[in-house]
Structure 1
Amino acid sequence: MSDTPICSAKGCRADAVWVLAWNNPKIHTPERRKTWLACEEHREHLSQFLGVRGFLKDVVLLTEWEAPDV
């Protein structure tokens, strides 16, 4: 099994390239960040899904992502 992170899109097994940082303000504190991973193909779809709900906070290349110290 590979240690390479995979895309969070349902059924996708492609390598992740992007980190989509989000939170649901109804249940998370403002500084809390949940993450989904996305391949190139699913980045826009997953970003739109989170964006229309007002959850999307940031989209960052996986190679540049550093999880905040929480």
Structure 2
Amino acid sequence: MKSFEPDPNENKELPLLLAELKPGRPHQFDWKSSCETWSVAFSPDGSWFAWSQGHCIVKLIPWPLEEQL
């Protein structure tokens, strides 16, 4: 069985949680499509962007994405 622990011999950096964004209002679980709002915002230096999927879910994504070969 493969271990899911990081291999100390690998030089890859593990993702690091820098901050957690929390909404200022309670999360509603009705999931109506009419309450979705999608938007993005780039960091001042352009190395990250925040992607809001609606329903109080925000993902921070490094930018530019590494090219898949």
The verdict on a shared fold, with TM-score over 0.5 as the criterion, is: no
TM-score (norm 2): 0.25
TM-score (norm 1): 0.25
More contact order relative to length (CA 8 Å, sep ≥ 6): 1
Structure in which a larger fraction of residues adopt helix: 1
Larger radius of gyration: 2
